[in-house]
A = this chain, B = another copy of it.
Amino acid sequence: MSDILDGLWQAFQLILSLDPDLLEIIFLSLRVTLTAVLIASLIGMPLGAWLAVKRFRFRRLTIAVLNALMGLPPVVVGLVVYILLSRSGPFGVFGLLFTPTAMIIAQVIIITPLIASISHQAVRDLWAEYHDLLISLNTSKWQRMGVLILDSRRSLLTAALAGFGRAIGEVGAIMIVGGNIDHVTRVLTTAIALETGKGDFALALALGFILIAIAIIVNLAIHSVSKTERASTW
Q: Is B67 touching A165 in the complex (CB atoms < 8 A)? A: yes
CA distance A205 to B75 in the complex (A): 9
Binding-face segment, A17-25, A94-102, A114-122, A138-146: A114-122
Within A180-201, the residues touching B (CB, 8 Å) are 188-189, 192-193, 196, 201
- Nearest CB in chain B to that of A213: its residue: B68
- Nearest CB in chain B to that of A75: its residue: B192
Choose from B65, B90, B196, B218 the contact partner of A68 (Cβ within 8 Å): B218
From known contacts A204-B75, A212-B76, infer whether A161 and B219 are also in contact, taking CB-CB under 8 Å.
no
Q: Is B169 touching A71 in the complex (CB atoms < 8 A)? A: yes
Measured between beta carbons, the chain B residues less than 8 angstroms from A209 are 76
CA distance A196 to B189 in the complex (A): 18
Measured between beta carbons, the chain B residues less than 8 angstroms from A75 are 171, 189, 192-193, 196, 204, 208
Would you call A155 an interface residue if the criterion is a C-beta within 8 Å of the partner chain's C-beta atoms?
A: yes
From known contacts A1-B89, A189-B75, infer whether A64 and B216 are also in contact, taking CB-CB under 8 Å.
yes
Measured between beta carbons, the chain B residues less than 8 angstroms from A84 are 1
Q: Is the interface of A mostly helix, strand, loop or mixed?
A: helix
Choose from B64, B118, B212 the contact partner of A162 (Cβ within 8 Å): B118
Would you call A70 an interface residue if the criterion is a C-beta within 8 Å of the partner chain's C-beta atoms?
A: yes
Would you call A164 an interface residue if the criterion is a C-beta within 8 Å of the partner chain's C-beta atoms?
A: yes
Q: Is B165 touching A114 in the complex (CB atoms < 8 A)? A: yes
- What is A's interface to B at a CB cutoff of 8 Å? 1, 3-4, 60-61, 63-65, 67-76, 78-80, 82-84, 88-90, 113-114, 117-118, 120-122, 125, 155, 158, 161-162, 164-166, 168-169, 171-172, 176, 188-189, 192-193, 196, 201, 204-205, 208-209, 211-212, 215-216, 218-220, 223, 227
